[in-house]
Structure 1
Amino acid sequence: MFFSPVAVSQWSPAFVEDLLPAAEKTALLYRLSYLCLASFPSLERLIRRRAVETQLLFGSSDATMLKCILTSENLVQSLFPMLANAVEKNKPVLAVKFLGKARVWIKDIITDVDRIVEKYDLHNKDVASSTSDVVKEKKDTDKKITEQDHKLKQTEKTLDDLKSELQKTTQELDETEKKINRKIQEIQVFARSITKASRGLGIFAAIVPFVGLIVKSIYKAVRDPGNVARMKALEAELNRLLAEKTALRQKQWQVQLKIVDGQMKVAKASFERNSIPDPVHLKDVQSGLTKIQAILIQLKHFWESVAQMLDYLEQKTFVGEDLIEDLAELKDEFLASIKSAEEAWNSFGAGCKKASVIFKLQTKDAYRFLEVSPSSLSKEAWEKEYESVKKRLEKIDPPQSVTSSATPALSK
């Protein structure tokens, strides 16, 4: 066998679809927290400080994305052409040298992403600490309040019901995710059994770490009707699960919006009674930051898997004596795989560029609301600001599930 694929994850060049709503939602929830803590200067300052720290963290994340962009471009513009040239001239030693350069690039990215992930972890702890500070001050203030009006209690009950519905939907979504992962693993195992019989497909799988493209290549290269039918059946089952996931995500998002609205109604009632509202939106900020951190962790795992595949390619193709002799006869297959790899990596680079733009915009524009203290707003201006943020939250689309043809990747 030429190459043994590693386990599958759902990493994709379209990862930016998850990043954008998470980043936008984080800024808007900071803004809601800022509004809800109007008239409490010490807490306003606390939220402002944490929001500025998030801005700076997004700036660092943008720098990491730029490094991913440059590395993707280096793979397409430098490594692949040099590998192709080495193969054409039957120079395996030269190919090993080029793969070593790629390994250095990727190691630098893994180190950078590790550093950023650690910063997100520390920052999230700071936000959690700030949440505790708000809770403490709220308790001290609420000691002065002895009455709860009927409307507030009704709103809180509705909010509890919505939270229960959200929990149930989230559990269904988690179960669907598990089913999707099992189905992808089933597809991967089946694809692996087919690539054992085809060196060309093995080469392709080694340098194109996106399972969707591997499936397409199997359709083109495999003539056995039984294998083709089996792959189509597995792909249809996966697409059904992905559609179910999309529907659950949309339902989850709609319930979350209702919860945000309910939380704001409770906050408004508390605001009018001069009580500090629960820091619910600040807690949601932590969820947004955790989501972005998880995306970056997936990015790190992706690059680690690429490094692993390059090592395997080097050892099994350019170092093993038995395969060096076959390099000439595999030349056409190898060059064709490199051409396809360039297209896949161009797509990944484009996704990194979109992520870079997202971080830039979040750093530059999304936190301008900090320039105005919410305590300076009249009741009418406060209401107008609240409605504006609410509408913007409603316009954020939940990320769509990526279909199997949209190139989920092979990862650790």
Structure 2
Amino acid sequence: MADSKMAVTQWSPEFVQDLLPAAEKTALLYHLSYLCLAKFPSLERIIRSRAVETQLLFGSSDATLLKCILTSQNLVESLFPMLVKAVEKNKAVLAVQFLEKAKVWIQDIITHVEKIVEKYGTHSQDVASSASDVIKEKDDTDKKITVQDNELKQTEKTLNDLKSELKKTTEELAKTEKRINSKTQQIQEFAKSITKTSKGLGIFSALVPFIGLIVKSIYDAVHDPENVAQMKALEVELNILIADKTALKQKEWQIQLQLIDWQMKATKASFDLGSIPDPIHLKEVQSSLSKIHAILIQLKYFWESVAGALDYLKQKTFVGEDLIDDLTVLKCEFLQTIKKAEQAWSIFGAGCKKASVIFKLQTKDAYKFLEVNPSSLSKEEWEKEYESVKKQLENIDPPQCVTSSVTPAICQ
């Protein structure tokens, strides 16, 4: 997902909330890694160093999300009202000036997101390198162990089976996401063809870059039976894919929880043998960071698409000679579209606020476990803390594939 440009238009304004579970998981997985590498001081230091780096990175992420929140507010509270006034007074030149101002806001966000994406990419590689360091030291230590416990052998076999199942599920999820992106692009192209006959729909699709809302607006604005039937068929296909993705995400999460449980058993057995546990939790940290990295890349592409859509709106609606004469005719459609655009962007801003709160909490409280040396814990304290963290992981809700909740009303 991170290495290919996804569909330009997001299905729903809540997409940024996918950051929440990944951010929450990261600190908890660091905590488990820290516990599992107790009594190995050099490895504890590695975990502590990477965890502090992540904590600082989350602080930068919160700053980026704050920019998204403020820009969403500017669109709702400044740009849209100014566009309404410009349209009411038939001042196309003013509308163009307002859209140019919005492009400056959005370009600033794109620059910030690009920087944070680059930081996540570098940090994710560093975490992966740390996992390799742990594996190397584990291999060196294991060479000194001549007797392998039967319980550990069976546990490792179960872990390997679960890893294979998780790999298969993750690959299937990636394929489903590609199919969703492809289907979303198909719907987007169909919507573009429809906008040629509905100016109001064209304006709406430029102001609200969420494909789910555009689908709803097509049903309101288009009455040709053939087009409606085609749109319904595409929507049904996409909804099936979204349902598949949700099911796969649930399955992936359940397998991850099983892996955590069995890793605890393997950790206990390894401690008894004097072996270093496999750094599975540290690998999961890197996986969570990669997911955040991928979502932020989506955010970057999203804002780029918004900039392009606003520029298209400026050229085709307020500058193009073929449409400027129709501004009075379009007034009713435009003003109603602005109202729905405000709702959509308010939802997006609210999603960014939720993600921002999580990053603030992660920066402030989630890494306090680093203040305690895990090797100082008794066996009972260690098990109690491990179970507590695992319980918190189980209580994290995996991200849901949501549909849109705002129904556009295009003026007939």
- TM superposition score normalised by structure 1: 0.93
Q: Which runs of 5+ in 1 are unaligned?
A: 1-5, 408-412
CA distance in 2, matches of 1:11, 1:290: 21
CA distance in 2, matches of 1:223, 1:266: 62
Partner of 2:3: none
Q: Secondary structure at the match of 1:330?
A: helix
Q: Secondary structure at the match of 1:282?
A: helix
Q: How does 1:297-336 map to 2 (within 5 A)?
A: 297-336=297-336
Q: Is 1:66 aligned with 2:49? A: no
Partner of 2:55: 55
Q: Is the 8 A contact 1:242 1:403 kept in 2?
A: no
Partner of 2:350: 350
Q: Deviations over 1:177-211 (max 9, x none)?
A: 23322322332232222221111111111111111
Task: Note the C-alpha offset of 1:364.
Answer: 1.2
Q: Secondary structure at the match of 2:329?
A: coil
Q: Is the 8 A contact 2:12 2:213 kept in 1?
A: no
CA distance in 2, matches of 1:57, 1:148: 40
Q: How does 1:130-141 map to 2 (within 5 A)?
A: 130-141=130-141
Partner of 1:145: 145
Q: Is the 8 A contact 1:39 1:374 kept in 2?
A: yes
Counterpart amino acid of residue 94 in structure 1: L
CA distance in 2, matches of 1:11, 1:50: 34
Task: Note the C-alpha offset of 1:405.
Answer: 5.9
Q: How does 1:32-47 map to 2 (within 5 A)?
A: 32-47=32-47
Q: Which runs of 5+ in 2 are unaligned?
A: 1-5, 408-412
CA distance in 2, matches of 1:165, 1:406: 38
Q: Is the 8 A contact 1:16 1:354 kept in 2?
A: no
Q: Is 1:164 aligned with 2:155? A: no
Task: Note the C-alpha offset of 1:46.
Answer: 1.6
Question: RMSD value over aligned CA atoms?
Answer: 1.8
Q: Is 1:401 aligned with 2:401? A: yes
Q: Deviations over 1:240-290 (max 9, x none)?
A: 222122122211211111112122211221122222112221111111111
Task: Note the C-alpha offset of 1:145.
Answer: 1.4
Task: Note the C-alpha offset of 1:293.
Answer: 0.9
Q: Is the 8 A contact 1:134 1:279 kept in 2?
A: yes
Partner of 2:219: 219
Q: Is the 8 A contact 1:80 1:342 kept in 2?
A: yes
Task: Note the C-alpha offset of 1:54.
Answer: 0.6
CA distance in 2, matches of 1:90, 1:349: 30
Task: Note the C-alpha offset of 1:406.
Answer: 7.5
CA distance in 2, matches of 1:241, 1:333: 33
What number of residue pairs does the alignment pair up? 402
Q: Is the 8 A contact 2:69 2:349 kept in 1?
A: yes
Partner of 2:271: 271
Q: Deviations over 1:136-185 (max 9, x none)?
A: 32233223212111111111111111122222222332332233223223
Task: Note the C-alpha offset of 1:8.
Answer: 4.5
Counterpart amino acid of residue 166 in structure 2: L
- TM superposition score normalised by structure 2: 0.93
Q: Is the 8 A contact 1:169 1:248 kept in 2?
A: yes
CA distance in 2, matches of 1:169, 1:406: 32
Task: Note the C-alpha offset of 1:404.
Answer: 6.2
CA distance in 1, matches of 2:372, 2:175: 44
CA distance in 1, matches of 2:265, 2:334: 62
